[in-house]
Structure 1
Amino acid sequence: MLTAIVLIDAESAKIPEVAASVAELSGVSEAYSTTGDVDVIAVVRVSAHEELADVIADRISKVPGVVSTRTYIAFQAYSQHDLEAAFALGLDD
């Protein structure tokens, strides 16, 4: 599974609509409207590299109101939640 974090700049009047539309796209697991210099952050999860172009360039970038995107491909996930689950394997409560 490949994970990409996509930072989306949107027209200010369309941020909620952009976030909702992006969240509905196949391959997008989550979308957040945010504060700061990025309007929407999307998490894309796909099984092959070739799918990234389809989701990001062919779908996200074409959502009405999207001005630009910047994509960061994740190498490895670090999550306290995942670590706690892994250490709890086989242990009874």
Structure 2
Amino acid sequence: MVTSIILINTDRNKVNEVAEQLQSITGVSEVYSVSGKYDLVAIIRVRSNDDLADLVTKKMRVLDGITKTETMLAFQAYSRHDLEAMFNVGM
């Protein structure tokens, strides 16, 4: 499993539209609108680097309104949320 965090800038009037389009792409796990330097953050979870490349270069690239992205690969997860979900299975 490959997890990636993509920081996204959009046209000012298209933040919500872009977020909704991103959310509908298979492999996009979560999309957050955020404050600061970027408009959106997308969490991507796919099977392989090839799947990630396909998602970014073929599916995201054609979305109208994205002006800039920065893609980061996650090496290891340190998530209390994931740990709590794992330990609560069956309880």
Structure 1 unmatched runs, 5+:
none
| Distance of aligned partners of 1:85 and 1:26 in 2 relative to their CA distance in 1, 3 Å threshold | closer
User: Is the radius of gyration larger for structure 1 or structure 2?
Assistant: 1
Q: For 2:39 and 2:3, how far apart are their aligned partners in 1?
A: 20
Q: RMSD of aligned C-alpha atoms?
A: 1.9
Moved >2 Å (runs of 4+): 81-89
Partner AA of 1:34 in structure 2: V
Contact 1:61 1:69 in 2 (8 A): no
Shift of 1:85: 5.0
Q: Percent identity?
A: 42
Q: For 1:77 and 1:3, how far apart are their aligned partners in 2?
A: 9
Q: For 2:8 and 2:62, how far apart are their aligned partners in 1?
A: 12
Contact 1:8 1:69 in 2 (8 A): yes
Structure 2 unmatched runs, 5+:
none
Paired residues for 1:21-32 under 5 Å: 21-32=21-32
Paired residues for 1:10-25 under 5 Å: 10-25=10-25
Shift of 1:61: 2.2
Contact 1:29 1:45 in 2 (8 A): yes
| Distance of aligned partners of 1:64 and 1:82 in 2 relative to their CA distance in 1, 3 Å threshold | same
In structure 1, what is the equivalent of residue 64 of structure 2?
A: 64
- TM-score, structure 2 normalization: 0.88
In structure 2, what is the equivalent of residue 75 of structure 1?
A: 75
Of stretches 36-45 and 74-83 in structure 1, the one that deviates more from structure 2 is 74-83
| Distance of aligned partners of 1:74 and 1:54 in 2 relative to their CA distance in 1, 3 Å threshold | same
State the number of aligned residues.
Answer: 91
